[in-house]
Amino acid sequence: MSSLPAGVKVPRHVAIIMDGNGRWAEGQGLPRVKGHEAGAESVRVVVRECRKAGVQALTLYSFSTENWRRPKAEVGALMTLLHNYVLQERQEILQQGIRLRAIGQIDRLPVFVRMPLKALVRESAKNTGMTLNLALSYGSRAELVDAMQTLAQKVAKKQLRPKDIDEQVISDHLYTAGLPDPDLLIRTSGELRISNFLLWQIAYAEIYVTQTAWPEFREAQLFEAFSSFGRRERRFGRTGAQLTGSAE
């Protein structure tokens, strides 16, 4: 088991596009569902290690709005895995003080998933440890549409003036309201796409792409991503000299 190297800077908010389950399984000569099962173990490891490292928020892209287009058998298997994860990890989530949130079009999930998920969200709501966001039936464009519709309704009801709508107001109406924006976005399996994930929130996130497929992404790969993040110079529009105090 790897340990976090001393002195490594830990991001406040880590977002992960967990990619490559199906391709990993196919490469092993296995059904795609076996890749999702192996990926579930990576979820357990990463959640545990992020909590230990002091990450404040972890957002996992678990199931997108586009994923509903996959074969029914695969979607059904993914829903069963999600149901099992919620039940099996309930005790550890509560014991570790993790606050679980589910972001996305949660009402599209089948009842046998939605009920225990919502129950654990309620049970863990007062926990003050790491926030675990499961992005389920999630699409960032849909999230932005929901936010804009809510803001338009408030303007129509004269609860909000158009000139008062700024970046913070928009952020406050997103699914991730109340959380810091991601500092680090990790994508596994080598794909160079954002895939409709947290488009507003990752405006200044550092992006880390690894060729490792999600089922093989464990402690060592997570800590390498943290190490890479720590080596980045995050300027937010300023110069390096300004950050070091040497600018005239």
Per-residue pLDDT tens digits for 138-170:
999 999 999 999 999 999 999 999 999 999 999
Rounded Cα gap, residues 132 and 5, in angstroms: 23
Q: Which of 19, 21, 133, 183 is catalytic?
A: 19
Q: Are 139 and 63 in contact (CB under 8 A)?
A: no
For residue 227, how many other CB atoms are within 10 A of its CB? 15
Token pair in block for residue 33: 């569902």
For the chain, the structural domain boundaries read 13-138+181-231
Task: Examine the residue annotation and report whether 67 is marked as an active-site residue of this protein.
Answer: yes
Residue closest to 132 by CA, chosen among 62, 74, 84, 193: 62
What's the pLDDT at 238? Answer: 58
Task: Examine the residue annotation and report whether 127 is marked as an active-site residue of this protein.
Answer: no
Three-state secondary structure string covering the chain:
CCCCCCCCCCCCEEEEECCCHHHHHHHCCCCHHHHHHHHHHHHHHHHHHHHHHCCCEEEEEEEEHHHHHCCHHHHHHHHHHHHHHHHHHHHHHHHCCCEEEEECCHHHCCHHHHHHHHHHHHHCCCCCCCEEEEEEEECHHHHHHHHHHHHHHHHHCCCCCHHHCCHHHHHHCCCCCCCCCCCEEEECCCCCCCCCCCCCCCCCCEEEECCCCHHHCCHHHHHHHHHHHHHCCCCCCCCHHHHHCCCC
Tell the CATH superfamily of the 13-138+181-231 domain.
Decaprenyl diphosphate synthase-like (3.40.1180.10)
Q: Which of 21, 67, 127, 146 is catalytic?
A: 67
What's the pLDDT at 2? Answer: 61
Q: Are 35 and 215 in contact (CB under 8 A)?
A: yes
For the chain (248 residues), the mean pLDDT of every run of 10, in chain order, is 76 98 96 95 97 97 96 95 96 97 97 98 97 98 98 98 97 97 98 97 98 97 96 66 58
